[in-house]
């Protein structure tokens, strides 16, 4: 069964500090992995999309890594800001043969404190 | 702004009633997806349409139905509402199928009393 597990479920960090969120998946056959940021009460917004051949991708202070061999991804937030307080969702897409089905992780809720 | 428009933003209704949620996808996007997000829960996929036809079905209840119209907007109909249907309902769109990036609207918050 395709699954996406995220850890931790939640974390609190001080403004200016860095943090790393984890995503482990069992989706197969793999097509791509996406990270979304979801502010409370708003729709998710795409941060990064990585395919099998990409092992790192950045979007401003957000850097995602992908290890397709171990089926793990991480999202690193550098120099956190109060506006980074949100839920971060890892989404893995199966390939076309599997209908490009998307499997969503449960998200990591990040709270940045001043 | 994702370009995906959902209306209404908020909806309060009573148990047993029926409501319709509307979604206008981004210009040029052919696929529309509906998701349900209950309080502090992850996104649950309900259904996908591509160019007017149902493409994939997720955990959608029989009391729920959806359609995509020729102008590509979509409606999600929820009937015989129960308290447990209270949730945020998100619409997303993409150019093609789910191999292309999804763009989410800001959701409709449904409260069933």
B-contacting residues of A 64-103, CB under 8 Å?
Answer: 89, 93, 96, 99-102
Q: What does the alpha-carbon distance between residue B33 and residue B59 come to, in Å, rounded to a whole number?
A: 12
Residue A14, min C-alpha distance to chain B (Å): 23
Q: What does the alpha-carbon distance between residue B68 and residue B51 come to, in Å, rounded to a whole number?
A: 7
- For B101, the closest of A31, A46, A101 (CB atoms) is A46
Query: Touching check for A17 and chain B: CB below 8 Å?
Result: no
Task: Read off the pLDDT band of B60 (50, 70, 90).
Answer: very high
CA A95 to chain CA centroid, Å, is: 19
Cβ-defined contact of A105 to B42 (cutoff 8 Å): yes
Q: Which positions ≥6 away from B20 have C-beta within 8 Å?
A: B75, B76, B77, B78
- For B42, the closest of A42, A99, A106 (CB atoms) is A106
Which range has the worst mean pLDDT, A56-65, B12-21, B92-101?
A: B92-101
pLDDT tens digits, B72-91: 999 999 999 999 999 999 99
**pLDDT confidence of residue B23:** 98
| The pair of three-digit structure tokens given for residue A93, joined into one six-digit string | 């897409």
Q: Which positions ≥6 away from B3 have C-beta within 8 Å?
A: B25, B26, B27, B93, B103
**pLDDT confidence of residue A28:** 86
Cβ-defined contact of A41 to B42 (cutoff 8 Å): no
Which range has the worst mean pLDDT, A93-102, B13-22, B60-69?
A: A93-102
- In tens digits, chain A (114 residues) has pLDDT values of 889 999 999 999 999 999 999 999 998 888 899 999 999 989 999 999 999 899 999 999 999 999 999 999 999 999 999 999 999 999 998 877 777 788 999 999 999 999
Residue B1, min C-alpha distance to chain A (Å): 10
β-strand pairing of B10-13 with B108-112? parallel
Cβ-defined contact of B2 to A31 (cutoff 8 Å): no
With beta carbons under 8 A apart, name residues in chain A contacting B89.
none
Please give the C-alpha separations between residue B70 and each of B24, B34, B49, B50, B53, in angstroms, as whole numbers: 12, 17, 12, 11, 10
Q: What does the alpha-carbon distance between residue B33 and residue A114 come to, in Å, rounded to a whole number?
A: 37
């Amino acid at each position: 069964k395709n699954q996406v597990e995220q850890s931790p479920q939640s974390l609190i960090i001080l403004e200016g500090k860095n943090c790393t969120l984890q995503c482990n998946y069992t989706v197969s056959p793999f097509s791509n992995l996406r990270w979304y940021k979801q502010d409370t009460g708003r729709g998710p917004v795409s941060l990064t999309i990585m395919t099998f051949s990409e092992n790192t991708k950045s979007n401003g202070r957000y850097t995602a890594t992908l290890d397709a061999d171990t089926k793990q991804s991480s999202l690193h937030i550098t120099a956190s800001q109060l506006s980074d307080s949100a839920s971060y969702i890892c989404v893995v897409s199966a390939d076309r043969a599997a209908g490009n089905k998307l499997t969503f992780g449960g998200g990591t809720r990040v709270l940045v404190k001043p | 702004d994702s370009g995906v428009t959902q209306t209404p933003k908020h909806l309060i209704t009573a148990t047993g009633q029926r409501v319709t949620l509307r979604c206008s996808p981004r210009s040029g996007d052919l696929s529309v997806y509906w998701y349900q997000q209950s309080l502090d829960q992850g996104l649950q996929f309900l259904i996908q349409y591509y160019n007017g036809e149902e493409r994939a079905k997720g955990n959608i209840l029989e009391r729920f139905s959806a359609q995509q119209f020729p102008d590509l907007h979509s409606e999600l109909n929820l009937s015989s509402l129960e308290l447990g249907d209270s949730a945020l309902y998100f619409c997303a769109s993409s150019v093609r199928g789910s191999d292309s990036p999804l763009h989410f609207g800001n959701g409709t918050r449904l409260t069933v009393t």
